[in-house]
Structure 1
Amino acid sequence: MLLELTTIGARSGATRTVTVAYAEIDGRLLVFASNAGRPQAPAWLHNLRANPLVRVELDGRRYDAIAEEIVGAERDRLYGVQAERDAAFATYQQNTSRVIAVVALTPARVGAATAQLREIHNGLREQLSATLAAVDAYLAGSAPAPHAKTLHQHCLSFCSALHAHHSREDGVFPQLAANFPELKPALDRLSQEHAAVAELNQQLTTTIEQLTDSTPPEAELLRAHLTHLAETLETHYTYEEAHLGPALDAA
């Protein structure tokens, strides 16, 4: 049986989604870092050790979970149960000298701060998706006239909303760092990412200003900028929701 597991890169901070085997034993959802018995553990294990908040997609449901590595005699018992169910896991352990990790995935309780961040981020995601759809319609020749004006409205509206959100956060980050010193590394990273996103936003604005109905190459460039921004923001959103939201919820 398989599920999709999304972790946050220990170094990159980018999201990584992999398909892994799972089992339900004693009411717990477990995954096994077998990597088919190879000498190295799979990268997702290193990621969740650094960032235990993960995302699980199983049977059409997607939810956040806390990853907890099971150790000692309990690990041995659970892995033994899995090896009895599927002989391949016994072979995996025989083929490697490392102890194959067993990880329990427990649904996470999302607090008010994390929920609010996600609501804001989801709104920005929807705006960006609508903007990309407008660019695609323009490039396909199916956008409502006037084409360029429609794109201007979509893009400038999104850029303005994103800038306002990050400006508000930049205004409160110094006080958060003062109140919660343990958050300073995460806040420093988020501030640096805000600066990088602001540069991308400026590139978008410049491209939009050059766009007319007779300049389709600028529309292609605009789409490239939007796609790059979407990828950058997804990593940013995920990191913020995993590090800032839970810390504020706990506080």
Structure 2
Amino acid sequence: MPVNAQLLNLTTTGARSGRPHTTTVAYAEDGGRLIVFASNAGRPQSPAWLHNLRANPAVTVEVGELKYAAAATEITGAERDRLYAEQAARDPAFAVYQQNTTRKIQVVALTPARVSAAAAHLKEIHAGLREQLNDTLAAVDAYLAGNGQLPEATNDLQRHCLSFCSALHAHHTREDGVFPTLAATFPELKPTLDRLAREHETVAALNTQLTETLTQLTTAPSREAAVHLRDNLHHLAGELETHYTYEEAHLGPALDAA
């Protein structure tokens, strides 16, 4: 075991025996997840715990006084390479392990495993907000197509934009109220919650810009203001997509225990 490594006890279910097996492994933290490395000290074969969790990704994690069920997800591609490189930089033993084997050492993320109705509900909310945003963008396009001359296009644009901005604000306000409870229940999620809170602030600022641009457009209609509104909406859409993807991957699994 590497010197001064952060260690956790990982309990998997035997792929053949069905019995629990506990192994002490080194770990790192990344965005609310715990990351473990199937180094097996650079041996050519993967450790037995990796084989077990591939058969059954439901595991138990013990870190200090914390013990909780978790879902194991094998990380591949560029994200795997980043996580392993960061670990090798922290502890050069992991660079040696990789040099000693032709096997690409596997990397696994452990996330608190409470995925059910609440996580599904979060995805439904995000899907609904995406739909509202798409409807708002369609309303902007209709407004621009008519050069703002049709009153119904103006009214439709105002209705969609205000509805979306209000729904987004309400959703993030509710989440901000839940975050302190989640932080107390799952200390390991603090980096995730801190990032989400910062992103909420960024989105709130963009949301304010949208409402200000909409007010400008409705009080002094112009094509320039409509194009500016559309650009703001596309910018917000990009920020939200990154936010949704991260939140669903890192926060969703803990929601049911809040």
State the TM bucket, normalised to the shorter chain: 0.5 to 0.7
TM-aligned CA deviation for residue 174 of structure 1: 0.9
Counterpart pick for 1:131 among 136, 141, 146: 136
**4+ residue segments displaced more than 4 Å:** 47-50, 97-104
**142-151 vs 168-177, which moves further:** 142-151
Counterpart pick for 1:114 among 119, 141, 146: 119
Partner Cα distance (2:114, 2:179) in 1: 24
Partner Cα distance (1:154, 1:203) in 2: 16
Residues 149 and 171 of structure 1: is their aligned pair in 2 closer, same or farther, counting only changes over 3 Å? same
Amino acid at match of 2:209: Q
Counterpart for residue 157 of structure 1: 163
Partner Cα distance (1:209, 1:186) in 2: 35
Residues 47 and 131 of structure 1: is their aligned pair in 2 closer, same or farther, counting only changes over 3 Å? farther
Q: Secondary structure at the match of 2:151?
A: coil
Counterpart for residue 43 of structure 1: 78
8 Å contact 2:210–2:229 — kept in the other structure?
yes
Q: Secondary structure at the match of 1:211?
A: helix
Task: Provide the alpha-carbon RMSD of the alignment.
Answer: 3.4
- Does 1:206 pair with 2:206? no
Partner Cα distance (2:188, 2:107) in 1: 27
Q: Secondary structure at the match of 2:164?
A: helix
Partner Cα distance (2:223, 2:232) in 1: 14
Counterpart for residue 239 of structure 1: 246
Partner Cα distance (1:114, 1:49) in 2: 28
Partner Cα distance (1:165, 1:214) in 2: 30
TM-aligned CA deviation for residue 149 of structure 1: 2.4
TM-aligned CA deviation for residue 215 of structure 1: 0.6
**118-127 vs 171-180, which moves further:** 171-180
Q: Secondary structure at the match of 2:251?
A: helix
Partner Cα distance (2:207, 2:189) in 1: 26
Alignment of 1:69-84 (within 5 A): none
8 Å contact 1:114–1:241 — kept in the other structure?
yes
Partner Cα distance (2:157, 2:105) in 1: 50
Counterpart for residue 172 of structure 1: 178
TM-aligned CA deviation for residue 114 of structure 1: 1.4
Q: Provide the TM-score with structure 2 as the length reference.
A: 0.56
Q: Secondary structure at the match of 1:242?
A: helix
Counterpart for residue 22 of structure 1: none
Partner Cα distance (1:127, 1:133) in 2: 10
Residues 98 and 133 of structure 1: is their aligned pair in 2 closer, same or farther, counting only changes over 3 Å? farther
TM-aligned CA deviation for residue 157 of structure 1: 0.7
TM-aligned CA deviation for residue 181 of structure 1: 1.1
TM-aligned CA deviation for residue 102 of structure 1: 7.7
TM-aligned CA deviation for residue 113 of structure 1: 2.1
Counterpart for residue 191 of structure 1: 197
8 Å contact 2:114–2:256 — kept in the other structure?
no
TM-aligned CA deviation for residue 247 of structure 1: 2.7
Partner Cα distance (1:153, 1:49) in 2: 49
TM-aligned CA deviation for residue 216 of structure 1: 0.9
Partner Cα distance (1:238, 1:152) in 2: 28
8 Å contact 1:113–1:245 — kept in the other structure?
yes
Partner Cα distance (1:214, 1:185) in 2: 44
Partner Cα distance (1:214, 1:236) in 2: 32
Amino acid at match of 1:192: R
Partner Cα distance (2:189, 2:172) in 1: 17
Counterpart for residue 146 of structure 2: 141
Q: Provide the TM-score with structure 1 as the length reference.
A: 0.57
